[in-house]
Structure 1
Amino acid sequence: MKRVLLTIFAAFITLAAAAQSPIVQARLEPSHDILVGQPIRMVVTVYVPNYFTGSPDFPEFEIENAIVVLPQDRPTNSNTQIGGVRYAGITETYVIYPQQAGYFHIPREQVAVPYALAPPKSTIAHVPLPTLVFHADLPAAARDLDYFLPTTALTMQQKWSSPMKNLRVGGTIERTVTVTATKMQSMLIPPLQFDAPNGIRVYPEEPIVHDQKTDRGDFVYGRRAQTAKYVVQKEGDYTLPPIELKWWNLSAHRLVTATLPAVHFTAAANTDYVTELPPESEPAPIAPIRHRSLWKQYRSRILITALSGIAGTVLLMMIWRNLPRIRRGLRARRERRQHSETTYFRNLQRACARNNASESYVWLLKWLAVTYPGVSLQQALKRADNPALTSNTNDLGESLFAQSNRDYSWNGKRFAALLREQRKHHRTHLSKHEYLGDLNPE
């Protein structure tokens, strides 16, 4: 009878644990009335029973005809009650910019979630993102444009290198036009056309773009600066045509045109100006034509050209064949640097210095994952055998996830100092272990 009861109890515990699985929720802000080019925030929250034993691995994905800005490593922590069970939560935010009208589907990518299913044992669950679909549209007044620029405010300003006076043939003047759009990426601001009448030569330069963001990665404004040099080639009266840029006002819901007016100026003659083309030389006497074989005349050139072409083709084939491996190597190197122990510990120290408990907790989990692979937070604290570090870590967890209103005295700077001491002790222990291993080879 006791054996039957124990079996039923174990089955009940197993079913209860299975029911308390991680939950992934996602929402779009805004979810409707979306315009092309307008930023859409996809807020993703992962909930786990008990607590996280590491940082969730939010997926990277692409959407056709849209720009996806990945989370900026600034997650927020929370806790909630679901079905009478206490869940801890971590939230990340993606930003999506649709580039054309139509329907867009969020891929069913999976989030890898490490959590304590049966504390202190760590379990990793793979939970897919919810199915989300949104539609982006263009206003009827803007459907004939080559581009669409939605923003709440846009300014266009110009600056000249010198006054438009006393210009002469051969003279040069530089013009810089700057476009600033509120809450917009600079890459979405279209290029401007610098037109000029006959007699004026225009030399445009590469544009300079700049994005101003908040600490959370939201765009404050985007700015595009284009510069061109005007060279006067003939004397006369000139008019540079106006520069126009149409944009959609999100506040007024109408199409607006930003304009720089036409520019009039006069260029005088310049007797000291020398044309860039040299005068024609005297025709040389024509030598008598000698009939020679084309092969004998160009044999060396043909051979050199053929060998160069073959060598270039072989080199291009080798580069093309190894290009995926080179890209994978560079991507892996960048990933290793971004997810290295040194980078995680530096971010952890910065979060502690700002006394930011939420960020400190996330970076602590990431650092522990690479410093103590396969070890949960509680097991790592037990190995450290540092009562002060354990107490401060518990204060950090209670300040984030405790449901009571008691004020926990977690101190970021004190916590950072204890972590530096533990890291130094851990590295010294590893060095001694490696040294003894070298002295006592198996």
Structure 2
Amino acid sequence: MPSRAWLRRAVPLVLLAACLCPWLAQAAAGPIVRVDVGARQPVLVGQQVGIDVTILAPNYFLSAPEFPPLAVPGAVVTLPDARAVNSTETIDGVAYAGIRKTYAFTAEQDGEFRLPAATIRVTYAGDDGAPREGSVTLPLTTILAGTGGTGTAAAGATAGRRLLPVARLSVTQALDHNPDHGVVRLHAGDALVRTVTTFAPQTQAMMIVPPHAASPRGVRMFRADARLSDQAQGDQAQEAPGPGGTRVDTLTYVFERPGTYTLPAVTVDWVDPATRRPASSAAPAVKVEVAAARDAGALAPGGPPAGALRGEGGLPWRMLLWAAGALLGAAVLAPLWRQLRPRLTRLRQRRAERRRARAEGADARLAATLRACRAGDAAAASQALGGWTRAAHGTTPAAWAEAAGDAALADAVTGLQRHLYGAVPVPSAWDGNPLAQALGRHAGPAPQRPRRAAPALPPLNP
């Protein structure tokens, strides 16, 4: 009887516990984290492996969790810029919302690698809709990397060479000149642009090694910076379509002399994931025939003139060189011109003064005197004669006439002065022909004044 009474009291407690267990389980539920390595181990050195990190939270997330960067010595771990994958699932009767991101892991050497125990904070909604804070810590995850016994997968990591990607690469190329029956035909001075595109399925573009490219003798090659993209699709890789990385290299070849050239094939190295041995893909070689340079004014059929720059509307590079030289010369001469301009101005002023001085000199004054004499203009003749004798002989007209010793000249000069300044009235008309004739006999260059002799030295021994 006592045992039956105990059972009657225990049954309600069991039923109550059965009802409360789901509620207690949901109340005690918190965020969960899972880590899955998307490849069979050991992975190959150089092989890109996806590591899925999934965070689960009860009900739903109030904000997206922030996935931290992971640093693993001896390996490259990146978080590609791809959208997170959302999911829902039920665990022990509790509804969870999930967010998954995939890390890209590439081992650079043999060994065992452990992911760091990073902590990720989570904000989610409780049963009452109020926000709750939680956190998850990445569990211990080990990745084993090796060469698969062949020793070739890590060939790039040894001997100081760059690590080769473990993926079947595909290479394509495009030319900016269409080949004519398999041959690109150019003229001396032209350039050929070769665009090489390398696609690596399921591999980031940063893991693609630069392609091997060379140029034949007599051809200059210029390599532009590569363009990398991780959003490309493997349209070229028919064997393994899907997302991957793309590397685009642009090579420019300049042909300066006529002739026949063969541009070598462009090759890219990789490791075959099936055989685990090194392999390579290649863009085929290009044959080019270069004719003599065109005339400067002639246009190439379907292209810019010889010596034109690509992408510049066919503007000749020689014109650009001349323009650059002119700008450089202007930049150099501008300061020099600022310094020389005042000097040139002063030089022009001196030349003008000399011309004016010559116009006002002895010859000009003599000519003016003769004109005034023939015109019978006594006042003009007297003024011009006085200026000429001062400029040519450094004296007055009367003194010069007296020194000349010509009685007719002296009378003509005296008659001119008496006509103008004499106290006795004279006829108004003045005949200047006698003075003009006398000037014609004695006019000439001004006599040089004798230099003053230096005083004699006193005798040394008086």
Relative to the length of structure 2, the TM-score reads: 0.48
Going by fraction, where is helix more abundant, 1 or 2? 1
Does 1 or 2 have the higher relative contact order (CA < 8 Å, sep 6+)?
1
Structure with the greater alpha carbon radius of gyration: 2
Relative to the length of structure 1, the TM-score reads: 0.50
